[in-house]
Structure 1
Amino acid sequence: SALEDAGYEAWIVGGWVRDALRGDAAHDVDITTSAHWQETERILRGSGIEVHETGTKHGTVTAVVCGQPIECTTYRTEGTYTDMRHPDSVTFVDNVREDLARRDFTINAMAWHPERGLLDPFRGREDLAHGLIRAVGDPKRRFSEDALRILRAVRFAARFGFAIEPQTQKALVACASELKEIAQERRGQEIAGILASGRTSWALMAEPEVMRAAAPELEQLDEVSYARTAACLAAVEELSGGVASSSLRWAALFSEAGPKGTKRALKRMAIGIDTAQEAASILKLGAQILESMDKEPCWTRQESYGLAVTAERACAHEGIALSLCAAAYAGAHLLAEAALGEVARGRAEQMLQAIDSIRADIRGIAGEGAPLRVQDLAVGGSDLMDELSVPAGPELGKILNTLFSLVVAGALANKREALLAAARHMQQSAAMHDEDRDENY
């Protein structure tokens, strides 16, 4: 209202309008205005609103209202995109319709005003009602301007369950290779959005050219391995009831790359170290569980408990916090089941019950203070050297590893006195063995 009171136009645009028309919760608010950014900044600050210069080259400032950032951008048209990300130049204009014409898809090219209502020059509301992703204007031009829009089209289609309009689809395939020019961090963000939709298996099968171009790990797969990846993701999405963790989704997507390849891919995409480590652990644990299943699932509490300890140790080895362990282990079970190709709906309830049991086991282990690594023992190397005069070296490491194995197996309490007594006994037994060997010699 401050901008309009000063004689300028201002509209809410983009995702907020789209989501509001769909009846979804609308969050991020973007405003487009006829005021140049300098005027926008002056007017809003004069009204007591906090303003930051966040993209003035492209006419954008960010206002902070009730703690929420609101981007305010001057009406503009755009020149060529040499870097396939930012326009080389922008031209500020006076007509909101010209501004909407530069946007990616019709469902994102609508504006709303509390008094003037909806402005929809490209029939975005109609496409929204018909479930269509359609580029604004010439789709090849839109994708050549910013190739990331290719992946965004797939993300929106996956998120909303929409189809891609035929001409837009043809342009997707024709321009897919241009995705390789986009920074992998940006591609990773869009892939994460596709994974979050719960329809990644659809994206892999419906848009193979796009998905292969988006990630080298997928591009390198032969047809059989690619189809196996899609089937694995379909199983994970079904068995998890649509609530799979992001780590599990990444693990399934890059399952053919293995733990190390998955970690490398996620690091390259700047996804986050915790997610990368957990995804790698899921793949490692999934392989272990597959072996233990012997092609049949093992759901006994004893087996779950034993594998829960294995999960904790494996997660600890990867540097994963205990709080992530249950999710990693549950994800590994789902991934193992998916790899077996057993996706019958009747098994889903049994599996979720088993996962609840596994999580309870892990919480129990954590409550008992079970160590995750040798360093978690109640005694350390310095204690053994001071109390028992154990010299630094292989003998010290051997004693600590043996103590750790005994504690994990439940044969020894993780208490200082108990551990020292066990270490003393090991030391004495080793000395007696050495004496017997010397006598026999």
Structure 2
Amino acid sequence: MANHSLDNSLLKVPISTGFRRLFYIVKPSESSFAKEAEVPNYVDEAIPFFFTLIILENCLNWWHGKKTWRINDAVSSVSSGMVSQLPLLFGRSIEVAAYCYVYHNFRIKELDWNCATTWWIAAIVVDCGYYWFHRAAHEINLFWAGHQVHHSSQDYNLATALRQSILQRYTSWMFYLPMALFVPPQVFMVHIQFNLLYQFWIHTELVENLGPLEYIFNTPSHHRVHHGRNPYCIDKNYAGTLIIWDRMFGTFQPETEQVEYGLVHPLQTWNPIEIQICHLKWIWQRFNEEKTISDKLSALFKGPGWQRGTPRLGNHEDLPEVEYPVKCYDSSISPMYSIYILVHFLILNITYTEMVQFRAGLTPVQVTLAIVFILFSLTTFGCLNDRRSYAPYLETVRLLVLLGLFFHFDPENNLPSNTGIYFDEKLKAKTA
């Protein structure tokens, strides 16, 4: 039974192929498809490789006496990543849906999907589109409400790369539409995923400098600057894969001093739901406080640091200096308490991964109920890490619901690994 689950998830992609994809080392011939439905979900297939590298990075940091990840921060980061993917359980992302609509209705020219030139053009244009979206996400307050999630960790490691926003794709889709006038959707769908996968490995402090590659590619050194809250780091290094865009458009900043990570005003919570929506609440408050229509619109569409009487992006010299030694938010729960949360979080992740693999066998009602349970569980883990007084009561309710779900999906009291077979049988029955 365990082998069945393994065959449908971990061994779906050869090990060498899975790791190559994380570095964009793929050939056009192995990633070109005639139809949109044939494009694999590379992000889902990369999940085991994400966690393998996260564990390896942590072991290497421990071996070299460097800072290892904190369980509460890592759980918070991966929780945000799970939340960001939940809408995809219902179907295509808005990025892909909008792109396909424009291509099928308004395209000017249809490039050959099976041509290497088309593949390379798409790779470059997607990366350029990402640069401009990413820059807008930092320079437009309403867009920053989504993107700030990714910057909310005060740690910088591979787990941080998974800290993503559920709102971000609802502002990013428009930046890729120009290429929909000529690049087939299946080519776009390949590169939008590879561009994202490439950005995983650059979230580490283990890699210091890559020599001549630093002039062309986005590297850990460049991206550390981007994640910094030091004044010299703000609004710099927006690149996805190629750092040439920052060099061309005047937003490049080399790593010249120690970088401290996180938001200018660090969050004081591990609750992934609060992390997702906190800036929206702040924008709403700002919007209501402003008196004129002009200032209200400025609060929405100028930079997060804008105040009346300042430039569009605010004054960077007014930003608070980082105080040393840096105090990171940490609720200081006991090691056993942390292990308990981690174990239950891993169980939830395994269940979520299997559900993603077999979601076609579930009804919309089942998917909705699963999403509600996942959100409730992640909120509970956040409250437990925050040491909220009501957290034990939430956890009691969560365990009772989990027990009910276990008997619903596994009435014969088999091992939890049998859920994959359950979903597989449901899928076969649905498609028969």
> Which TM-score band (shorter chain)?
under 0.3
User: Larger relative contact order (C-alpha < 8 A, sep ≥ 6)?
Assistant: 2
Asked which structure has the greater CA Rg, the reply is 1
**Structure number with higher strand proportion:** 1
Normalised TM-score (structure 1):
0.24
TM-score (norm 2): 0.25
